Amino acid sequence: MAISVNHQVQPEKWLIAPHVIRLETSIIREILKISSQPGVISFAGGLPAPELFPLEDLKRICGEVIEKYGPAGFQYALSRGVPVFVKLLAERATVSGCPTEPENVLVTAGAQQAIELVARAFIDPGDYVIVENPTYVGALQAFNYYQARYVPIEMDKEGMRVEQVETSIRKYNPKLIYTVSNFQNPTGITMSEERRQALVDVAVKYNIPLVDDNPYREIRFAGTPATQLKAIGGDAVIELHTFSKTVAPGLRIGWINGPKPILSQFEKVKQCTDLHTNSFSQYVIYEFVKQGLMDPQIEKIKANYLEKRNTMLHSLEKYFPAGVTWTNPEGGLFLWLELPKGISAKEMLPRAIERGVAYVYGSPFFAGGGGENTMRLGFSNPSVSDIVEGVKRLGTLLKEKV
């Protein structure tokens, strides 16, 4: 039978759902593409330091997983996650101060899928979500898909200004409260103890799910550990975790710790989304944790990032003009800068890339608009010498602007 290829196909006229058409490409991912040009020092990403990936351990463990678990590491698995891994996650959470049972846990393809599951489960078109202003742009992207509206709450150096939350709840009847309580992306700010208690109280009072997106907690290289929202709030809190910042983002392993009836709903959605998370990677991280490699790995990361943060702070002092201010995070991956009013970080970006340095401008992080004079600098990925050189290049450019 002759094959006829018909040239009248017009896929560009296929009817894509409007909320997909409206979806914008992630600005960070676009900047990452541009900034991966050779010669560009990039502060744009939240990429872990490549020199910290525990390659030798992972190599050994991959072999061990195959020897020890055989076909199980490659077969279809439960939507909740590989049972021994789920159990281990629950035990570790319990030890860290948040009593957790396996039924509270769902393993996800990174924290982004955890955010996406939360968004799907709770947001109907037009629903309000309380967010910090600014907040993580990947969360806004996931929420936008479900046509969320936002109640952006101002931040100061203690985090979200929780005293504004109750009024907002009364006015907008939001579906959920979303916070990045530790070393926030993008600002690096950590919520104070008083605010944590107050935020849990108001979430409980109005019975609104409090989502704590918590990828950076373990990477604290200065100051005193904060009490976790989940430890204070228990079932009032849905906590989102990831191994992307501690072991390896490429393995796409995150998890949710939340109330059992809610996790059952998430599990159904997970099932029809992608059946289950990569089982081999779950076994690899399970063994990594079980063999006691996590704590030394985190110590390595903290030492590395502390040096890089310090280098960035010193370089900013040295090369940046007066009138620019920045945060001093006690952990995590990001510094947040405010330029003098009137300077647009977005407009400046192409010039910066010409000079061989990239960053993410701050405006997309603001659900409520504004922030044109802000930018996020990630210090985790570049080398110490590149941090000095990149800040110098950016400072030189800024001095021409100020």
| Interacting residues with its own copies between 92 and 131 (CB under 8 A) | 108-110, 112-113, 116, 120-124
How far apart, in Å, are the Cα atoms of 170 and each of 80, 166, 237, 277? Answer: 35, 6, 20, 38
Interstrand relation of 357-358 and 254-257 (parallel, antiparallel or unpaired): unpaired
User: Between 64 and 338, whose beta carbon lies closer to its own copies?
Assistant: 64
User: Between 253 and 316, whose beta carbon lies closer to its own copies?
Assistant: 253
Pairwise CA distance, residues 365 & 376, whole Å? 10
User: Between 224 and 400, whose beta carbon lies closer to its own copies?
Assistant: 224
Segment lying near its own copies (by CB under 8 A), choices 227-235, 315-323, 333-341, 360-368: 227-235
Residue 56 C-beta: closest distance to its own copies, Å: 8
Q: Is there binding between residue 206 and its own copies (CB under 8 A)?
A: no
User: Between 68 and 318, whose beta carbon lies closer to its own copies?
Assistant: 68
Site string for its own copies, 129-158 (x = CB under 8 A): ---------x--xx-xx-------------
Pairwise CA distance, residues 211 & 239, whole Å? 6
Q: Is there binding between residue 303 and its own copies (CB under 8 A)?
A: no
249: preceding bond cis by omega (within 30 degrees): no
Interstrand relation of 128-133 and 149-156 (parallel, antiparallel or unpaired): parallel
For 163, the token pair is: 């005293």
How far apart, in Å, are the Cα atoms of 274 and each of 16, 76, 78, 271? Answer: 21, 11, 11, 6
Which residues, including other chains, have CB under 8 Å from residue 66's CB and lie 6 or more apart?
A: 73
Residue 130 C-beta: closest distance to its own copies, Å: 14
Residues 199 and 228: beta-carbon distance below 8 Å = no
Residue 111 C-beta: closest distance to its own copies, Å: 9
Interface positions, 358-377, toward its own copies (CB under 8 A): none
Looking up tokens 């593409």 gives: 33
User: Between 202 and 313, whose beta carbon lies closer to its own copies?
Assistant: 202
Q: Is there binding between residue 400 and its own copies (CB under 8 A)?
A: no
Q: Is there binding between residue 81 and its own copies (CB under 8 A)?
A: no
Interface positions, 250-289, toward its own copies (CB under 8 A): 250-252, 258-259, 261-262, 265, 267-269, 271-281
User: Between 278 and 363, whose beta carbon lies closer to its own copies?
Assistant: 278
Interface positions, 11-40, toward its own copies (CB under 8 A): 11-18, 20-21, 23-26, 29, 32-33
Q: Which of 81, 159, 188, 249 binds its own copies (CB under 8 A)?
A: 249
Task: Give 320's DSSP letter.
Answer: S
Site string for its own copies, 40-59 (x = CB under 8 A): -----x-xx-xx-x-x--xx
Q: Is there binding between residue 383 and its own copies (CB under 8 A)?
A: no
Which residues, including other chains, have CB under 8 Å from residue 245's CB and lie 6 or more apart?
A: 46, 48, 215, 216, 218, 219, 301, 333
Task: Give 174's DSSP letter.
Answer: -
